[in-house]
């Protein structure tokens, strides 16, 4: 009983106190809203220009130094294309950049960008000394032996010397597969839920061959969920055929690796 009276009294006091303190403010004029600050949205273009990707920055700087060198090599690039199986373009560093780009998820219109691809990619980076060296040496030999094939290359698409998907191409493919992948709800959310699948694709986006990496894990005791996870990923790929692949540059993406990771969705 006493407790209630005490509480009531103290609440009354609080209200009166609060009222006396706040009331004067009601007499003041309303605060003006601060002026609207315009914000510039950064466009995602085919060319990487992300300031926060440290590795990319380094590589871009490196490349800018070598830009002149690269442009001199422009004609030989086409020559190299003639023998794609002999000297494939080294692209590990380029891939790293692309990975940094993946963090951003701004879907762009694909059609527009695809047309511009070839122009941008001529400036694209090849920053290893090895390539330069290779090109020098091979140029002489190949030029002699591949005059005929030269003509063929010229009629090919003059796109895509890069060896990774552009940001928008990747987003398109991802969006497609996101829709097809039914993640098994029963998976344990606190385990490693990554399954990597290597695909060999046909130009129209259908799958010729698929291979699950970490295949040994499928039959490990206690890892029964891995098999379930892998099967769900395979089903997703099946459902999504033909995959949303770029219309050009088949050589670039004919070997594709999809890394399915259910962790994000299941951890909630």
Partner 1 sequence: MNLNKIFKNAFLIVLVSFVLSACATKTKQLGSQIQGDVYTGTDTVEYLASGVPDRVFFATNESVLTTASRETLRKQAAWLRKNPNINVVLEGHADERGTREYNLALGERRANAAKDYLMTYGISSNRISVISYGKERPVDSGSNPLAWSKNRRSVTVKAN
Partner 2 sequence: MKKKLYIFSVIILTLIPFKAISLIEVDITRGNLNPLPIAVSPLYIDESSKKIFFEETKIENLGSEITKVVENNLKTTGLFNPLSKDAFLQKPDIAHLKPRFEDWTLIKAQALITGKITIVEKKIRIEFRLWDVLANKEMLALAFTTVPNNWRRVGHIISDKVYERLTGEKGYFDTRIIYVAEEGPKTNRIKKLAIMDQDGFNTKYLTLGNELVLTPRFNPTNQMVTYLSYFRNLPRVYLLDIETGIQEVVGDFPGMTFAPRFSPDGKKIIMSFASEGNSDIYTMDLETRVVERITNHPSIDTSPSYSPDGKYICFNSDRSRYQQIYVMKSDGSNVKRISFGKGLYGTPVWSPRGDLIAFTKLHKGKFYIGVMRTDGSGERLLTENFYQEAPSWSPNGRVLIFYRETKTNDKGEGFSAKLWSIDLTGYNERLVTTKTDASDPSWSSLLSK
How many Å apart are CA 158 and CA 135, to the nearest integer? 18
The conformation of residue 185, written as its DSSP 8-state character, comes to T
> To the nearest whole angstrom, how small is the minimum distance from the Cβ of residue 21 to partner 2?
31
- The b/e string for 212-225 (b: 16+ C-beta within 10 A; e otherwise) is beeeeebeeeebeb
- Residue 27 CB, shortest distance to partner 2, in Å, is 40
CA 210, distance to chain mean position in Å, is 21
Q: Which is nearer to partner 2, 114 or 165 (CB)?
A: 165
- Residue 66, token pair as written in the block: 């070598």
CA distances 128 to 92, 180, 252, Å, are 10, 38, 19
Residue closer to partner 1 (CB basis): 8 or 206: 8
Nearer to partner 2, 70 or 91 (CB): 91
Residue 262 binds what, of partner 2, partner 1, none (CB under 5 to 8 Å, by partner type)?
partner 2
Helix (H) or strand (E) holding 221: none
3-class state of residue 119 by DSSP: helix
Residues that bind partner 1 (CB under 8 A): 1, 4-5, 8, 11-12, 15-16, 19, 23, 26-27
Q: Which does 19 bind (CB under 5 to 8 A by kind): partner 2, partner 1, none?
A: partner 1
Which CB atom, from 15 or from 74, has the smaller least distance to partner 1?
15
In the complex, least distance from residue 247 CB atom to partner 2, rounded to whole angstroms: 16
């Amino acid at each position: 009983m006493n407790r209630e009276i005490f509480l009531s009294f103290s609440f009354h006091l609080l209200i009166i106190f609060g009222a006396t303190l706040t009331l004067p403010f009601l007499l003041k004029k309303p605060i003006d809203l601060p002026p609207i600050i315009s914000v510039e949205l950064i466009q995602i273009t085919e060319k990487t220009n992300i300031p926060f990707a440290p590795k990319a920055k380094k590589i871009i700087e490196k490349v800018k130094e070598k830009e002149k060198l690269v442009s001199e090599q422009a004609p030989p690039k086409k020559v190299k294309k003639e023998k794609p199986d002999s000297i494939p373009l080294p692209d590990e560093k380029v891939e790293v950049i692309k990975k940094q780009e993946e963090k951003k998820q701004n879907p762009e219109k694909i059609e527009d960008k695809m047309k511009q691809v070839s122009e941008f990619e001529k400036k694209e980076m090849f920053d290893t000394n090895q390539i330069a060296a290779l090109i020098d040496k091979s140029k002489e030999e190949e030029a002699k032996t591949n005059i005929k094939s030269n003509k063929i290359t010229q009629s090919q698409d003059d796109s895509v010397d890069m060896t990774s998907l552009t940001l928008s191409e990747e987003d398109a493919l991802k969006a497609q597969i996101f829709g097809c992948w039914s993640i098994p709800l029963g998976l344990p959310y606190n385990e490693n839920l990554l399954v990597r699948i290597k695909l060999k694709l046909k130009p129209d986006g259908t799958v010729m061959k698929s291979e699950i990496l970490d295949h040994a894990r499928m039959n490990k005791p206690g890892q029964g969920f891995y098999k379930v996870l892998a099967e769900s990923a395979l089903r997703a790929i099946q459902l999504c055929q033909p995959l949303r692949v770029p219309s050009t540059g088949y050589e670039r993406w004919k070997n594709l690796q999809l890394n399915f990771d259910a962790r994000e969705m299941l951890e909630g």
